Structure formats: structure tokens, C-alpha cells
Amino acid sequence: MKPLGHILLASCFLVALTGRASTPPDLGDIVPMGNDTYSITREARSAFTRDADKLKSEASDSAAKYCAAQGKQLKVISLTENVPTFGMGYAKAKIIFQALDAGDARLSTELAAVQAQVPVTLVARPPSTDELYNDLLKLDELRKKGILTDDEFQAEKKKLLAHTK
């Protein structure tokens, strides 16, 4: 085989290993679902990419950018991932969200639901370390999903920590 044939064969092999070509994610792949609800799916560029957290982060960032461009507030409905067995498909992450006006009642009902999800127990005994840890994890997860702002997270965290004394 001539050197040019070796180069061509090696190039074809490398292209096959890296998977399909993909363009960087943009805001054009947002799927309207009605009632101010949208979805975004991010898929890995190759079967070797297994980092679903990165894909979820990309999907969340795109949702936040879309809402900001529309002058709306982001309300995350769900954020899911799918990492199939190696060779059986590409890892995916999907976010379903709403783009709402700042005064929309659906945002305030979400805050009430958040407060109901993270109860502060006012009992004579301080919460156990496990209870405190679990409550802090729940708060942090809500902050990461964009349901709580950093200020709301800090305020709720202070309330939890105040009850441990």
C-alpha cells in the first residue's frame, strides 16, 4: 500500500472512532410544548462520551439563555438523563421548562412548593446530623435546578442551621 493509502485508511478509522460530527448546541433546538412550556435535548457527540451531568448542564444553560433572551423567568419542570449501555446509543439529557413572566402566579406557587419540600422542623430537639445533611442537599439541588436563587438558598440554609443550636 502506498503512503497516501495508509493516511486515508488511518483518517477513516479516526472518523469512525469519534462518532458523528455535531455542531455546537444553539437555541434553535428548543421544542415548544404549549402553555409556555418547552423542551431541550442534548445528546453526546459519540458513544465514548458518558458525562450526563455535562449534558444536563448544557441543557439547563440553554434553557436559561432562552428565557433571558425572551425576558422571562425559568421554571424547571424536569431534568432527566439517559446513559445507555456502551455501544447501544448516545448519552442524552432532556430538560422540560417553562418561560414565565416575572409576575406569573405559577412562579409564586413554585416557591410555596419549594418551602413545603424543605420543611424546617421546630421541635425541642435539634435535628440530627443526617436530617440536617439531607435538608441541605435538598436545598442545594433546588438551587442547582434554578428553583431557588442564591439569596433564597442562603436564607433557607441559615434557618436550617439556626435550629441546630
pLDDT in tens, 103-117: 888 776 655 555 556
Gap between the Cα atoms of 100 and 147, Å rounded: 13
Residue pLDDT, tens place only, 107-152: 766 555 555 565 555 544 666 778 888 888 888 888 898 888 888 8
Given pLDDT bands bounded at 50, 70 and 90, which one contains residue 8? Answer: low
Contact 48, 14 (CB under 8 A): no
pTM of the full structure: 0.51
Grid cell at residue 119: 420543611
Contact 153, 135 (CB under 8 A): no
Evaluate if residue 25 carries a pLDDT over 50.
Answer: no
Q: DSSP letter at 148?
A: S
Gap between the Cα atoms of 33 and 39, Å rounded: 7
Neighbours of 137 (CB within 10 A): 11
Residue 43 β-bridge partners: 92
Gap between the Cα atoms of 55 and 80, Å rounded: 10
